[in-house]
Every structure is written in structure tokens, then in C-alpha cells.
Amino acid sequence: MPATLAMLVVMSATGSLSAPNEDPVLDFLMIGDLQGWPNHLGDDEPAIDITLVPARAFELGIPDEEVYRQSRIYFPRNWQTLLTYDVLFFNHPRLSFFTPQQQRMMVDFAGESGRVSIAYPLSTYAEVQIPWLNSPLSDVFPVNYEKFILASTKGILDDWWENRPLRLAPGLPPVFSVFAGTGIFGMRVYRTNRPCYATEGATIWLYMIDGPPTDVPEAPAFNSWPYGESDTWAFGVHPAGDRPHWEAAGPWWELIFLNVCIYTISGETLLFEEAVSKRSVKTQLMVFRESASMFHSIVDFVSKVGANTNEAESLLSEGHRVRTEAETDYLEHRYGEASEKMAEALALANRAMDEASRAKDRALTWVYISEWMSTTGVALISGMALWWLMVRRRLYRAVTTTQLRQR
């Protein structure tokens, strides 16, 4: 009996905590730069929820002490808390902000069954390179970091600086190839790519092609290999955010990373039809997010001039409620219902925008009337004073100056 009790205690303390989360929403622990496109993978993807652990503030001017303080606040305090996340994502992190114990926790997480670890560590700055190379995490991911650093010192990375298309490796599960019909791999919207030199035994899923060196026509872009009871992934793909076509390609990459996670956890992948349905709803979610942002900008402005925006805000609040219902349908694979509800949410957002615009017009009308009345009043007073001084003075006779005595 004591042995059975002890076993139950151990199972409750460890087994239940290490079990993969059955929630359809994947919780990402994003460790790294405060900037960067991976931080926005969950903006319009209901199945991705990102918690950012600041570990770099490139060109933001934030002191290292503040970044370090933030990393201590947001990084899980213990192993049990770390296991509440499904995905560990590294985006150019400065691992010097983390203790050896914390780095050991990350290594152990990468080998856990049902967990996903993805790294984008290919920075050309020593503040990222040296701590990564000295960390046990450098042995976890399928990228030859020494070769990458050597290439960066020789200027080889500059050869891949401009916009390069990608090539799918043949004969692999449809983690990436399911998206081939979208044409996103052939688009020249990938800029400042970094070759993700594969370690021995790694699987290369994507290649950067059309490189200028004649002896290096392509280089690895996205790799994976088995680690522990899971797989780890590393990539060097970087978008050209200044290219208009990236607006079309970006949402597909949210689904690609989602597919990577699904494949790592369950061995399954999205079907093309399902991906297209998801993409359609995601477009509506993006439009709603942008409309809500524009609405708040209008409300912030008109509130300063005393406009009543209660009705408009109530409409948008109802739109958010409908959007939440649509996200639930999306997560339960009812994409038709999700699309219909998002259309309703967008209609409410448009009505809210129109009502906010009317509130703005009403408030500014009174501002314009007040300004007109003030200007007109001052003009009338000035005209009256001028009339008394220049016209009415003719009613008085001119007289000699009065003096106290004659000189």
C-alpha cells in the first residue's frame, strides 16, 4: 500500500505535468529579440498563443539591465511551469541572460515527447553567437554553428543577402510540400537569408537557391533531426518585409510553422484544402484586427474633443464577442461557420467605424462652430472699435491744446 501511494504521488507530480497539452491552442514560449517576424506568428492564428521572453533588444536602445530583468520575469521559474508550454522558439536570443540551470531546462524540454523546439539563432553579432556556441543548446538543434560563424567572418553570408527563392527537398512528408501549390516558395520575398548549415544526420527540408557563387548554387534553409523523444528544428529563412508580395506570403508561413508543430507532436500534417480554408479565415481575422486598431486610433482622437463614442465602442465590443465565437469554430475545424461569423464581426467593426466617424464629425462640427463664433465675435468687436475711433470721432470739434500757462 505505501508503495502504491508513493507511485501515485510520483505520477501526479511528474506524469501529468509532462503530458502534452490537448488544448487545440499551442502555447509558444518565444525567447529572443523584442523585434522580428516570428513574434507575430500568432497575430492572426487562433491556434498559436505567444508568450515573449525578452532576451535581446536589437537597435531599440533598451539597456541590457532592463532586458535581463524582463527575461527573469517572463521565463518560467521551474520545470513544471516550463512544461505548461508546447513550443519553445528561439529568435536570435542572447543566452547569456539565462543561468546554466535554465539552459539545462530548455535542453530537457527539447527532448520531451509532445513538445516542439524551433531555433532561429543565425545572427551575425557576437552577443548572440558566442553565448549560443558555449551553450548546451547548440548541440540540440540541427545547425552547424561553427561553420556558420566561419562563413560570416568570410563574408559568405552576403552572397545570400538579396531576395532568393526556396526549393523543396523531394521525398519528404508534406510538412512544407503541402503548401507548394500556393507558390510561396518560388516568390522572391526572402531577403537577408542565412545558410542553415546542417549537422550530420539532419534532414534538410528547404534550400535557398539561385545563389551568386557558382560553386554554391544552394544552401540549407530549414532543417530538423530527432532529439530525445521529439524532433528539433532550425532555420535561416528571413522575409523581405519591404516587398509587397510578403503580405500574401506571410500568413502562409504562420500555417507552415503550425504544420511543423502538428507534425512534430502527432506525425500528422494539414491537408491543402484545410490550409486554404484556414487561410481564408485568417485573412478575415487580419482585416478585423486592423479595423479594430484603426477604430481605437479614431476613438483616442475624438475622445480628446469630447465626443461620445459609447455606441461605437459597444458595436466593436459585440464584434469582438462574435470574433471569439469564430475563433472557437476555427479551432474546432468548422471553417465555414467561422468565416460566416467573421463576416458578421467585420460588419459590426465597419458599423463601429462609421459610428465613430459620425461622432467625430459631430464633435468637430461644434469645434468648428465655436471657432467660427469666436473669430466672428472678435472681428465684430474689432470692427466696432475701429468704427468708434475712425468714424464717430468726426462728431467732435477740434480744439486747441489746453495749457496751464502761455509761454
Contacts of 326 (CB under 8 A, 6+ apart): 281, 284, 285, 337, 338, 339, 341, 342, 345
C-alpha distances out from residue 407 to 75, 290, 403, Å: 98, 87, 9
Confidence of residue 13 (pLDDT cuts 50, 70, 90): very low
Q: Answer whether residue 395 is part of any domain.
A: no
Domain identity same for 254 and 285: no
Does residue 282 share a domain with residue 137? no
Are 160 and 283 within one domain?
no
Point out the domain boundary residue: 270, 302, 317: 270
Assigned C-alpha cell, 129: 553567437
Side by side, the strands of the sheet bearing 116-120 are: 48-56, 26-33, 87-91, 116-120, 230-235, 218-227, 203-209, 166-168
pLDDT digits (tens, 9 = 90+) for 248-302: 777 899 999 999 999 999 999 999 999 999 999 999 999 999 999 988 888 887 7
- Asked if residue 167 and residue 119 are part of one domain, the reply reads yes
- Residue 100 in domain: yes
Specify the pLDDT at position 318: 95
- Percent of the chain scored above 70 by pLDDT? 83
> What pLDDT does residue 242 have?
59
Cell of 116: 516542439
Number of domains into which the chain is organized = 2
- Return the closest-CA partner of residue 244 out of 198, 285, 187: 187
Pair 45, 122 in one domain: yes
Q: What is the DSSP letter of 356?
A: H
Nearest to 206 by CA among 218, 190, 220: 220
Tell me, yes or no, whether 86 lies in a domain.
yes
Instruction: Record the cell numbers describing residue 294, joined without a space.
Output: 484603426
Q: Are residues 72 and 163 in the same domain?
A: yes
> Whole-angstrom Cα distance, residue 141 to residue 236?
13
In a domain, 376, yes or no: no
Judge if 255 and 312 occupy the same domain: no
Q: What is the pLDDT of residue 152?
A: 81
Looking at 246, 270, 294, the residue that finishes a domain is 270
Task: Say if residue 174 is in the same domain as residue 321.
Answer: no
- Of the given ranges (123-127, 251-255, 360-364), which has the lowest mean pLDDT? 360-364
| C-alpha cell recorded at residue 356 | 465613430
Phi and psi for 220 in degrees, rounded to 5? -60, 145
Is residue 249 located within the same domain as residue 293?
Answer: no
In a domain, 194, yes or no: yes
Same domain for 204 and 298, yes or no, is no
Mean of the pLDDT values across residues 9-36? 67
Tell me the residue range of the domain where 126 lies: 25-270
pLDDT tens for residues 159-195? 766 778 899 999 999 999 999 999 889 887 777 788 8
Phi, psi of 254 (to 5 degrees): -60, -40
C-alpha closest to that of 113 among 223, 10, 233, 19: 19
pLDDT at 215: 60
Q: Is residue 323 part of a domain?
A: yes
Mean pLDDT of the residues in the chain: 85
What is the reported pLDDT for 203? 97
Claim to verify: residue 230 and residue 293 sit in the same structural domain: no
Instruction: Check which CATH number belongs to the domain holding 116 and give it.
Output: 3.40.50.880
Q: Say which residues have a Cβ less than 8 Å from residue 176's Cβ, sequence separation at least 6.
A: 168, 185, 205, 206, 222, 256, 259
> Is residue 16 scored above 70 in pLDDT?
no
Confidence class for position 357, pLDDT limits 50, 70, 90: confident
CA distances from 227 to 31, 139, 339 (A): 20, 10, 39
As a whole number of Å, the CA-based R_g of the chain is 31
Tens of pLDDT along 43-68? Answer: 999 999 999 999 999 878 899 999 99
In-domain check, residue 347: yes
298 versus 29: the higher-pLDDT residue is: 29
In a domain, 146, yes or no: yes
Looking at the fold, whether 289 and 257 belong to one and the same domain comes out as no
With a CB cutoff of 8 Å and minimum separation 6, the contacts of 406 are: none
Last residue in a domain, options 221, 245, 270: 270
